[in-house]
Amino acid sequence: MADTRATAAAPATPVVTRRSDYAPPAWQVPQVALDVALDPLATRVRARLEVVRSGAHDEPLRLDGAGQVPLAVRVDGIAVDDWRIVGGQLVLALPGEAHVIETEVEIAPDRNTQLMGLYASGGILCTQCEAEGFRRITWFPDRPDVLSTYRVRMTADKARFPVLLANGDPVAAGDNADGTHWAEWHDPYPKPSYLFALVAGNLAVNRGTFTTRSGRVVDLGIWVRAADLARTGHALHALQLAMAWDERVYGREYDLDVFNIVAVDDFNFGAMENKGLNIFNSRYILADPDTATDWDYDAIAAVVAHEYFHNWSGNRITCRDWFQLSLKEGFTVYRDQGFSADQGSAAVKRIEDVRGLRAAQFPEDAGPLAHPVRPESYIEIGNFYTATIYNKGAELIRMMATILGPERFRAATDLYFDRFDGTAATCEDFVACMEEAGGVDLTRFRLWYSQAGTPRVSATLDHQPGSGRATLHLAQKVPDTPGQTHKQPQVLPLRLRLFGAETGRPLGDERLVILSDTAASITFETVTERPVVSLNRGFSAPVVIDSDRSAADLAFLARHDDDPFARYEAMQQLMLDTLVAATVEGEADHAAVIAAVADTLDDPTLDRAFVAEAVLLPAESFIGDQLSTVDPEAIFQAREALRRDLGRALDARWRAACDPALRRPFAYTPEDKGIRRLRNVALGYVAASGAADAPALAYAQFEAADNMTDRHGALTTLVGGRSAQRDAALDVFYHRYAGNALVLDKWFQTQALSPLEDTPALVAELAQHPDFTLANPNRARALIGAFGANQRAFHADGGDGYRWLADQLLALDALNPQTAAKLLPPLGRWRRFDPVRADRMRAELARIVATPDISKDLFEQASKSLE
């Protein structure tokens, strides 16, 4: 019998999985019964698979397994030993068309540090199967195109694990004489193994109900440790809102009598959409005003909605293979973005999403790990849960929705849900439904799925005074990315409008221009005065725009554009141009930015959340993305200088926005959120101005706060400077929230994001703090992830930050490869830096690749980053 050890170690020549190699499964498994005797150190899993030959062939049955050995294999009730283990698969020749296969394995959830398969988190036993975790629980064709109905029986010690949950509906439960108890669950909907879940633990529940539009009463439950029960109300409410929203906006109704969510502290991602039993990272469930920021509240609602929406876009219709991951993730992100937009300001939500896209996806698309929304190959699929698959994928759906318009888009999603319900589908299936119901030809649009890289569009507006006409010249280029050169022009839906520079009035209606060639010219009539063009309104295409608009025209649009996103965008571009000039030349004229910010602050018609976003300067990393060589220190200094000047010039306005008199008792309403957001931005500017009383002002807000948004905002401002109040606030915060892991994460993260010069040393020290642990992904991300995102600190002279990160990644890789690999990308940006930094970054990547026994997860990320 061949070696069946865990597959984590990188093989000398890693196995590459290719999209073009897809072949349908040789055997289907219509029914599965699992009998799981749960025990933290020795869980017995007995599996009974009804297998059916699919088509005419003589292929053996192949079952995936990892980290466990088969203790017994039976075919139709008879023990057999003529099976082999080949490449991690159990291979079994079968004579007939249908058989019953039974296997038995033993696994140890307590020793599972990877958090894939069955593992323990704070005494709760839970599972994580996407993408390939089910094979760590039992032998199975662990691929998403094998759909089965599951019957699950769990047995566990009743005192330690009083609650036993699995997918679908509870069927029966009972007690045994030996102090154990059992429960049986049945999920009537055929599903792939990655959607399997079970949970056993000592859990309390917040129950609610939702009545679907056809009258089904669904029992909802949010399951947490008893101590956390008081912090589950927001998540439950968000779930009810999401269920109603999906009925109203997409016509999608829930399909089981129960819907449970369990929160655990140790989780590799945000949450998981297992059928009827979502399992969440507790940070996306638990909230109360004292411990969660408005950002946390919003994120909880978004993730609860996201996982719920997967019930249709993911579970009822799943993915044929993992290359189709964006079929469920891109579409579901698009759906959760729509949900969040409907809860408050749609414009602010769009601004946040574009900020996020630019912070995470654009750099990915411009770096060594760039990949198409539908990748062609992977070594480890866990590395492809990326901003490209999720967020760029959502932009693709958004562009199709823009091209189709709302009615036809809804008809197209109806067709998709109807036609592919109960199947494992492809991105192509989705696009074909858009075409068919939308009555459009998306042949060239499909390039968005196959070509990586962010298209660049150049735009010049030509106006001949007195002619009544203007011509907009557009040209596009899709940049080369690893393995892809000489790309074809893509289909870019660009929303445009002209405004008159004298009157500020629109010159004609908004137009939707679909640029699908390398270049095109668009003529506008009735241009009665000098026009200014508002481009890519609403960020209708996820591209970079290079336009020759002057600072004056950008400032004009920042005041007069009627599309709130475009207004924000004009301001950002004005700031960016100023900051790039200052970085390159050492100084720049700040007057235009100051005037535009003042106007925005003074406009009473704008909602405060929008104002807060609009007056924020672009992130240091985004400024770096505009430069051929990133100079982190020069960028930081240029940005600080502009912050200082804005702080000084508009001092009275900032003080008014963070005036304690504006404080009112916490309420989670869009209006109050906006006031709080602007308050924290304003406090930051007061501190940036260098005002002597800034630390006292911040500390007063820190102390008086009745909510985490105000308290954490004040802490962030204090941690960005040096003062006695800084140290006091960190100390008070730490002691006040000792024992609350999610808030302690903020304590670590805020320090790791600090712009101060000693941050690299402080971060290294924090890694030795008794509360720091690599075993908890949230804690690891709070320190290591935040440090990697802190451009000034991470790239500080000397390269200590690079070495520290590589050390942390190697240590983490031994425990949790998936989370380690996710934290590597900052090291892969070496091409964007000067030769000294680049060499040091590459040396660390090379050291990682040369380390024996690293995971294939980390190997793939590091080796691709070196290329």
- Which residues form the catalytic set? 307
Residue 248's H or E segment, with its range, is helix 233-250
CB of 704 to ligand PHE, least distance (A): 38
Q: Which stretch binds ligand PHE (CB under 6 A): 266-274, 428-436, 595-603, 615-623?
A: 266-274
Token code pair at residue 763: 């971060």
The answer to whether the beta carbons of residues 463 and 527 sit under 8 Å apart is yes
The answer to whether the beta carbons of residues 726 and 719 sit under 8 Å apart is yes
Residue nearest to ligand PHE (CB): 269
CB of 165 to ligand PHE, least distance (A): 17
Site residues (CB under 6 A) for ligand PHE, limited to 348-367:
none
User: Could you give the CA distance from residue 456 to residue 562 in angstroms, rounded to a whole number?
Assistant: 25
User: HSE of 16 in the Cβ direction (CA atoms, 13 Å)?
Assistant: 9
CB of 332 to Zn ion, least distance (A): 5
Token code pair at residue 259: 């819907």
Q: Which is nearer to Zn ion, 310 or 495 (CB)?
A: 310
CB of 311 to Zn ion, least distance (A): 11
User: Could you give the CA distance from residue 312 to residue 246 in angstroms, rounded to a whole number?
Assistant: 10
Q: Which stretch binds ligand PHE (CB under 6 A): 141-149, 267-275, 510-518, 752-760?
A: 267-275
Residue 385 near which of ligand PHE, Zn ion, none (CB within 5-8 Å, type-dependent): ligand PHE
CB of 116 to ligand PHE, least distance (A): 8
CB of 330 to Zn ion, least distance (A): 9
CB of 482 to ligand PHE, least distance (A): 24
CB of 125 to ligand PHE, least distance (A): 17
Q: Could you tell me how many residues of this chain bind Zn ion (CB under 5 A)?
A: 2
User: Could you give the CA distance from residue 746 to residue 733 in angstroms, rounded to a whole number?
Assistant: 10
Residue 577 near which of ligand PHE, Zn ion, none (CB within 5-8 Å, type-dependent): none
Site residues (CB under 5 A) for Zn ion, limited to 33-72:
none
Choice from 7, 127, 128, 324 touching ligand PHE (CB under 6 A): 128
CA angle 635, 456, 862 (to 5 degrees): 65
Torsion, CA 657, CA 661, CA 666, CA 670, rounded to 10: -40
What are the residues facing 364 on neighbouring strands? none
Token code pair at residue 831: 């091409």
Any contact of residue 553 with ligand PHE (CB under 6 A)? no
Any contact of residue 385 with ligand PHE (CB under 6 A)? yes
Tell the residue number behind the tokens 């876009």, with chain if given.
313
Choice from 39, 130, 296, 860 touching ligand PHE (CB under 6 A): 130
Residue 269 near which of ligand PHE, Zn ion, none (CB within 5-8 Å, type-dependent): ligand PHE
Using CA atoms, how far residue 435 sits from 66, 341, 396, 409, 490, in Å, is 41, 26, 14, 10, 17
User: Could you give the CA distance from residue 65 to residue 67 in angstroms, rounded to a whole number?
Assistant: 7
Any contact of residue 196 with ligand PHE (CB under 6 A)? no
The answer to whether the beta carbons of residues 33 and 113 sit under 8 Å apart is no
472 — phi, psi (to 5°)?
-100, 120
Residue 272 near which of ligand PHE, Zn ion, none (CB within 5-8 Å, type-dependent): ligand PHE
CB of 273 to ligand PHE, least distance (A): 5
Closest CA to 148 of 63, 274, 29, 318: 29
Site string for Zn ion, 303-332 (x = CB under 5 A): --------------------------x--x
Site string for ligand PHE, 270-299 (x = CB under 6 A): -xxx--------------------------
Torsion over CA: 657, 658, 661, 666 (sign): positive
Q: Which is nearer to Zn ion, 302 or 399 (CB)?
A: 302
Cis peptide before 131 (omega within 30 of 0): yes
Q: Which is nearer to Zn ion, 339 or 830 (CB)?
A: 339
Q: Which stretch binds ligand PHE (CB under 6 A): 302-310, 680-688, 709-717, 841-849?
A: 302-310
User: Could you give the CA distance from residue 225 to residue 228 in angstroms, rounded to a whole number?
Assistant: 5
Any contact of residue 7 with ligand PHE (CB under 6 A)? no
CB of 310 to ligand PHE, least distance (A): 6
Q: Give the 3-state secondary structure of 641-665.
A: HHHHHHHHHCHHHHHHHCCHHHCCC
Residue 563 near which of ligand PHE, Zn ion, none (CB within 5-8 Å, type-dependent): none
Per DSSP, helices labelled H in 280-359 are 294-309, 325-343, 346-356
DSSP 143: S
Site residues (CB under 5 A) for Zn ion, limited to 327-386:
329, 332
> Parallel, antiparallel, or unpaired for β 544-547 and 456-463?
parallel
The answer to whether the beta carbons of residues 539 and 487 sit under 8 Å apart is no
Any contact of residue 246 with ligand PHE (CB under 6 A)? no
Q: Which stretch binds ligand PHE (CB under 6 A): 178-186, 268-276, 285-293, 362-370?
A: 268-276
Q: Which is nearer to Zn ion, 315 or 332 (CB)?
A: 332
The secondary structure of the chain in percent helix, strand, coil, rounded to multiples of 5, reads 45, 20, 35
Site residues (CB under 6 A) for ligand PHE, limited to 79-98:
none
Q: Which is nearer to Zn ion, 385 or 748 (CB)?
A: 385
- The length of the chain in residues reads 867
56 — phi, psi (to 5°)?
-95, 110
Site residues (CB under 6 A) for ligand PHE, limited to 635-654:
none
Choice from 265, 307, 321, 435 touching ligand PHE (CB under 6 A): 307
Q: Which is nearer to Zn ion, 393 or 438 (CB)?
A: 393
Q: Could you tell me how many residues of this chain bind ligand PHE (CB under 6 A)?
A: 12
Token code pair at residue 296: 């946390």
354 — phi, psi (to 5°)?
-70, -40
> Parallel, antiparallel, or unpaired for β 204-211 and 148-157?
unpaired
Sheet holding 492-500, edge to edge: 511-515, 492-500, 531-534
Closest CA to 373 of 442, 482, 448: 448
Q: Which is nearer to ligand PHE, 243 or 714 (CB)?
A: 243
Tell the residue number behind the tokens 């609610």, with chain if given.
208
Choice from 64, 246, 329, 553 touching ligand PHE (CB under 6 A): 329
Q: Which is nearer to ligand PHE, 283 or 590 (CB)?
A: 283
Q: Which is nearer to Zn ion, 130 or 145 (CB)?
A: 130
CB of 385 to ligand PHE, least distance (A): 5
Choice from 269, 309, 539, 830 touching ligand PHE (CB under 6 A): 269
Q: Which residues bind Zn ion (CB under 5 A)?
A: 329, 332
Q: Which residues bind ligand PHE (CB under 6 A)?
A: 128, 130, 268-269, 271-273, 306-307, 310, 329, 385
